[in-house]
Amino acid sequence: MYLKGQPLFAFGHGLSYTKFKYGRVKLSARRIAAEGQVTAALDITNTGQREGDEVVQLYIHEVKPL
């Protein structure tokens, strides 16, 4: 708001005042049918010295058979 120049990162770029450790992602299934669904879960631990919140994003894509 008071910066007289260009910010180094866009708002919400992912910078935080603490650190997080991500556990391994666990999926309810390895494959998803065309109209199916899968559940993903993982543990996140705040390993820093300050309180913080984290938002996890999961990106998937279709794998076409050879």
* Statement: residue 3 has pLDDT above 80: no
| Residue of 1 and 61 predicted with greater confidence | 61
pLDDT tens track for 27-66: 999 888 888 999 999 999 999 999 988 888 888 888 888 8
Is beta strand 44-46 parallel, antiparallel or unpaired with respect to 40-41? Answer: unpaired
pTM score, whole prediction? 0.62
Q: Identity (one letter) of the amino acid at 41?
A: A
* Statement: residue 5 has pLDDT above 80: yes
> Contacts from 9-16 at CB under 8 Å and sequence distance 24+?
16/48, 16/52, 16/54
Q: Are 39 and 28 in contact (CB under 8 A)?
A: yes
